[in-house]
Chains A and B, each alone.
Chain A
Amino acid sequence: MNLHEMKDIAYNGLWKQNPGLVQLLGLCPLLAVSNTLVNAVSLGLATTLVMSLSSAAIAPIRSYVPNEIRIPVFILIIAVLVTVVQYIMNAYMYGLYVVLGIFIPLIVTNCIVLARAESFASKNPMLPSAFDGMMMGLGLTAVLASLGALREVIGKGTLLSGIDLVFGESAKAWVIHVIPDYHGFLLAILPPGAFIGLGLLIAGKNWLDLRAAAKPRKQPAANVQPEAAQG
């Protein structure tokens, strides 16, 4: 795996083919768990771990698995890895495990994991596959984190609330009250907030892409400003 290849994979995962903003795969956890930054990043990292491991596990066995049963075998491997992650979280991060709840086992059904196994790991050697899984996972985590931060600040006026679930009671002091004495804006915390927020993020990415593509020419009108859809 040379540097050029690596750069390509990273660029695809993080930006060009971003699972959350472009492929739009795995929206169920994306929308459900992105109500706070800590939840979002935690599930994102758990997914990243599963994707790196599953891609790394699938790539070396790809020539031994008959084509007809490759999907069940991939799913089996992914399910095993997710369950291992679930056990570990249950044992050592109990609070977070309870908060993320059903969305940890549901990583199995997150189509982005199988999509990478099928479209990348089953055709490439182990190292690039693991790297691809990791980059796609991090791309998803980045979107989850932005959405989580956005919803948390608008909805609750805080950042990092719930961090004590990861780092223990002493971490409670890390919570940042961005807007003091904020009464909360419920819409951002509820599911509609997730859809609106994701819409804004996608619009923002497209706007940046358009602007980059049209650089030599005059900048397109900036009337796709995120705030426009807020009301």
Chain B
Amino acid sequence: MKRIVRSTLQTALNLAFFAILGTAILSATYYLTHAAIVHSEQQEKLKLITQIVPTELFDNDIIQDTLPIAADPLLGTTETTTAYRARLKGVPSTVVLEAIAPDGYSGKIALVLAVRSNGQLAGVRVVAHKETPGLGDYIELGKSPWIKGFDDKSRTEYSAEDWQVQKDGGKFSYMTGATITPRAVIKAVHHALQYFDAHRDELFAPQGGRS
């Protein structure tokens, strides 16, 4: 009996030793790479943001000037997201919002939108999607300029019926064979603009850098 206890204990200690050793190695690596990871993630975000917000439109540290946005059905979000505010000489020029189109052909389509203070879209980009390659993926800028069709559009310029693909009587083009994808994106952008119009003052509120 004693022997069994002893060998079990030994085995357990052995496993625990390796677990602790592994954790120590991981902690050390995390510690060493953490700063670089945060840096490259921010660079990546900045790269995306500057694609839709021209750099001459802001002079603030846009990555730091953030505002937490509570989940909202108009944005399609289920978790708190972050809005980035672009300011030029302290005057708010553009806000970058995240939105999700929940009804893509295969699941959610994640978008970022940049909206100017006058309610015009500065640009929209697809961040993540699972649409059919070669068919529904023309919403990516790398595949087709379709997404640029949103540039400079606003909710006041187009009526609610216009925010649809041409096939449904709207003003947006689409590609034959894949209408579900653009429908989802257009709807999500339209909703996000409604959200923007309803929350404009909060979005541009001066106090920033809460993150």
Partner of B33, one of A69, A91, A95, A184: A91
Cβ of B31 to closest chain A Cβ, rounded Å = 10
The residues in A between 55 and 82 inclusive whose CB is less than 8 angstroms from any CB of B are 64-66, 68-69, 72-73, 76-77, 79-80
Residues from chain B with a CB closer than 8 A to the CB of A189 are 133-134
Does B43 lie within 8 Å of A94, measured CB to CB?
yes
Are A65 and B26 within 8 A (Cβ)? no
Partner-binding segment picked from B7-15, B85-93, B114-122, B201-209:
B7-15
CB <8 Å contact, B11 and A66:
yes
A174 at the interface (CB under 8 A from B): no
Say yes or no: A92 contacts B134, CB within 8 Å: no
- Name the prevailing secondary structure of the B interface residues: helix
Closest to B36 in A: A91
In the complex formed, the residue of B with least CB distance to A186 is B134
Contacts of B18 in A (CB 8 A): 65, 73, 76-77
Q: Is A190 on the interface with B (CB-CB < 8 A)?
A: yes
Measured between C-beta atoms, what is the minimum distance from B159 to chain A in Å?
37
Q: In the complex the two chains form, is A68's CB within 8 Å of B29's CB?
A: no
Does B41 touch A at the CB level, under 8 Å? yes
CA distance A83 to B29 in the complex (A): 9
Per the bound structure, the CA–CA distance linking A189 and B134 in Å amounts to 9
Given contacts A73-B15, A80-B22, A83-B29, 7 further A-B contacts (CB under 8 A): A64-B14, A66-B10, A69-B11, A80-B25, A87-B30, A186-B133, A189-B134
Some 19 contacts from A to B, beta carbons below 8 A apart, are A64-B14, A65-B18, A66-B11, A69-B15, A72-B15, A73-B18, A76-B18, A80-B26, A84-B26, A84-B29, A87-B33, A87-B37, A88-B29, A91-B37, A91-B40, A92-B36, A94-B41, A184-B134, A186-B134
